[in-house]
Structure 1
């Protein structure tokens, strides 16, 4: 993502090339300022009275370095504290200037982020998740800095606050560059593994906010790092593994959110763009069903993510592809496992079944049109489209944040195969709704021009189309 032309790039120029001696910039003169002005949210402005009363400059940063132009008196807390971390060593003691309150703050925000999940399973091991957060925060100032950026962006996403987009764009680029430099330095194995995970995390977060065609190139760029991370973790590989293929089930059953996130984005991009997945997955290894953060954060049932990966592989005629008839039979015969998960509220049980059913129908239609080359007017496909749109209508916005389930694949497949104006309007309105799609894996609005091109071209007046027609529209309107 290119930094905005609103002045952010020039104001932040003094931060560039400050990597000597493991420090991103000059140390702050007034550490007490940041210890005593604890933020309740990084979206809140920093009150001028907080800083003027201490007789220090607005940033608390040494003016001798020419940094004064970097922040205006209206800088947000988010920007102030990010800059504070940018000035700290990348590694250091557990008790840095911000750590006295930062650990508690992050845990509180982690709990808050869990509230953003559409589904809240009671069997999710929250305590284990919190401990992993604490362990990460204690490793270095660098990981605390990264966590801070993550929290700020997620808060803005959920709040629907677009005013800080250019700020987030800059910090994503800046932190990403810092992570890359760290990887190039060469570190101890554990630290290198952490930086690889950070690189994947930030690249995927950036992929959620940039144009989808650029996001696909981002995905290509981090694939080598994903593979290095996989091959350096023996716990993800079962006995007698085929090291030419990535054991997908093991990743999805783990709490390595970044790796699971990568596989989900990879398979989703492959379906939406009609391009091969970045890596070859082994879906023959079955795992014990469990409750993982990835599944709930993105409303992606593990069984159906595996099936999506298999359909993509089958579409691309991989020599390791599963027979399409076997996939079809599994989708037709699928039954929800009663009692597999228990939820905080009763409506979630019904809604989880609806999400699973919408996945089943979408993948069945995708299999028919993309793998079997069946035209969209086939009764089997049209039945799926009608039922998808009926099922997703039952998934209402919930909670104080008016949360929406993530349903990109369902709406895209329904849109590709839709024949009536009523169906197309439903799909178009949903994909263009920023409030409903803000936490989806892809920028859904990028695919509206693709569908418009298809609907007003080959599919005009409800005419039948084939997968190649969608691909032509995608390549025309959203080239990679």
Structure 2
């Protein structure tokens, strides 16, 4: 893997030309209304080239769409690519654009995703941006299905940035449906590379589903991607379980895999099982301890949750849905996980970051994850209520840590799960209001796996139901409130 963005070959062209801000349009989303402040907290971007001229004029945009439409027709698909609605655009499942077209789309994709990197990267993005760009560009230029799924994502991000609350992002659902079918139903050519491409594109589409529609649509697609994950993981002997009595795939080795698609899926599976209260999709072997590298893994770059704590979360998920039998957990099991959680120590060299406040925020987020896992142990395994002193102690810790984490910024995204678990346990009306606002603001970034507005409704349901007047709640009460407010609509046996 090249270590720098400039090392990526792109048919002899400079891989990092001036990034364009306006893409070849696949549909005009503008409704003529006055633009609002974007709810997606991307950094402001210069829409002019370095010499002061506009990036592209209308003629170049028209030429691009004409060329792309021609390529689509050559691939045997009907095209309305120059139409006025994104729902009329039909992109081909297989297309090899010429270098000019490819270079233009890559530049546009990067122009829209780079602000997202700045928003969601947990570590100081400046120090790892070259590595991130190189990996990202390599994925774009090596796969058609990844290329076009990310092109669609870039177009959605641009619409959010341009139109804010007026953005008609649901207008992209027909295109997402089309790409979903392409990733799920397309026959594999028998190679692992094809599976990698389809899984990578599918995970990106699931992320876009969470943004454009709802939690149910995003989770349904993640379920359908599980067989691809297994196929790819089983093809790599380094991921096989070291313990024949446990699951087939080692979670610890998956979390440090060089295939980020596998890591991303494993994290999605862990967090959705926790926060949605659904069985995990993969029966991982969690017996191997976390593997600690000298260099932090991309999972921690993006999510901020240490791998040691993710393994504990997956252990709880698997115990709840495979081993509990509806009974409280034996004390020796939960005590072991409690000790592991308390024994975890933050790591990471932030010495290059001159801003000490950012270091404090990152440490606060990791500490928040520790207390999130402790709450999950006490409620989800031990069968305790939210009034237990240990639960209340962790809730108060998360409340205090929130003061160091401005939820309207990128850090609020990484603190979203701790906020939800603390919110369901707090007895204070003041803290409830604070958590409610923070969850909505973090969700407004539209860069997290799940939607803030939907889970604000979950909190309203539990606060006005089982937890009314400060009453104690159980984990089952939370799951019932989630089911009432966020209906997944997944047919039995489909996941």
TM-score greater than 0.5 by the shorter chain: yes
- Once residues 59 and 185 of structure 1 are traced to their aligned partners in structure 2, the CA distance between those partners, rounded to angstroms, is 31
Match of 2:296 in 1: 291
Alignment of 1:300-449 (within 5 A): 300-316=305-321, 318=323, 323-337=333-347, 339=349, 343=353, 345-396=355-406, 404-433=412-441, 436-449=444-457
Distance 1:67 1:305, change over 3 A: same
Kindly indicate whether the alpha-carbon contact (under 8 Å) linking 1:376 and 1:466 is maintained by their aligned counterparts in 2: yes
1:360 deviates by 1.0
Alpha-carbon displacement from aligned partner over 1:418-462 (angstroms, at most 9, x marks no partner): 112112111222233366552121112212232222222222111
- Once residues 282 and 123 of structure 1 are traced to their aligned partners in structure 2, the CA distance between those partners, rounded to angstroms, is 35
1:278 deviates by 1.0
Aligned residues: 433
1:328 deviates by 0.9
- Once residues 106 and 475 of structure 1 are traced to their aligned partners in structure 2, the CA distance between those partners, rounded to angstroms, is 36
- Once residues 242 and 374 of structure 2 are traced to their aligned partners in structure 1, the CA distance between those partners, rounded to angstroms, is 32
Q: Which runs of 5+ in 2 are unaligned?
A: 1-17, 29-53, 489-495
Deviates more, 1:411-420 or 1:210-219: 210-219
Alpha-carbon displacement from aligned partner over 1:360-406 (angstroms, at most 9, x marks no partner): 112112211121111211111111111111101211268xx776342
Alpha-carbon displacement from aligned partner over 1:80-137 (angstroms, at most 9, x marks no partner): 9x959x25x72537x4341244445555555444322353347965444444334334
Kindly indicate whether the alpha-carbon contact (under 8 Å) linking 1:96 and 1:141 is maintained by their aligned counterparts in 2: no
Kindly indicate whether the alpha-carbon contact (under 8 Å) linking 2:379 and 2:474 is maintained by their aligned counterparts in 1: yes
Kindly indicate whether the alpha-carbon contact (under 8 Å) linking 1:419 and 1:462 is maintained by their aligned counterparts in 2: yes
The structure 1 residue matched to 2:475, chosen from 461, 467, 474, is 467
- Once residues 473 and 190 of structure 2 are traced to their aligned partners in structure 1, the CA distance between those partners, rounded to angstroms, is 53
1:416 deviates by 1.5
Deviates more, 1:217-226 or 1:142-151: 142-151
Match of 2:152 in 1: 149
The structure 2 residue matched to 1:114, chosen from 110, 114, 117, is 117
Distance 1:53 1:113, change over 3 A: closer
1:293 deviates by 2.6
Kindly indicate whether the alpha-carbon contact (under 8 Å) linking 1:120 and 1:344 is maintained by their aligned counterparts in 2: no
1:67 deviates by 6.8
SS at match of 2:142: coil
Match of 1:267 in 2: 270
Distance 1:364 1:91, change over 3 A: same
- Once residues 333 and 413 of structure 1 are traced to their aligned partners in structure 2, the CA distance between those partners, rounded to angstroms, is 21
Distance 1:157 1:325, change over 3 A: farther
Kindly indicate whether the alpha-carbon contact (under 8 Å) linking 2:192 and 2:232 is maintained by their aligned counterparts in 1: no
Alignment of 1:30-179 (within 5 A): 39-42=20-23, 50-51=57-58, 61=69, 71-72=82-83, 86=91, 90-92=94-96, 95-106=98-109, 111-117=114-120, 119-121=122-124, 126-155=129-158, 161-162=164-165, 163-179=167-183
- Once residues 406 and 158 of structure 1 are traced to their aligned partners in structure 2, the CA distance between those partners, rounded to angstroms, is 21
- Once residues 77 and 277 of structure 2 are traced to their aligned partners in structure 1, the CA distance between those partners, rounded to angstroms, is 49
Deviates more, 1:329-338 or 1:234-243: 234-243
Alignment of 1:193-272 (within 5 A): 193-237=196-240, 244-272=247-275
Kindly indicate whether the alpha-carbon contact (under 8 Å) linking 2:188 and 2:195 is maintained by their aligned counterparts in 1: no
Kindly indicate whether the alpha-carbon contact (under 8 Å) linking 1:124 and 1:292 is maintained by their aligned counterparts in 2: no
Deviates more, 1:285-294 or 1:205-214: 205-214
SS at match of 1:120: coil
Match of 1:456 in 2: 464
Alpha-carbon displacement from aligned partner over 1:308-363 (angstroms, at most 9, x marks no partner): 11222233352899811011112233332364785463322211110011111121
Q: Which runs of 5+ in 1 are unaligned?
A: 1-36
Distance 1:359 1:158, change over 3 A: farther
Kindly indicate whether the alpha-carbon contact (under 8 Å) linking 1:209 and 1:443 is maintained by their aligned counterparts in 2: no
Match of 2:33 in 1: none
SS at match of 1:352: helix
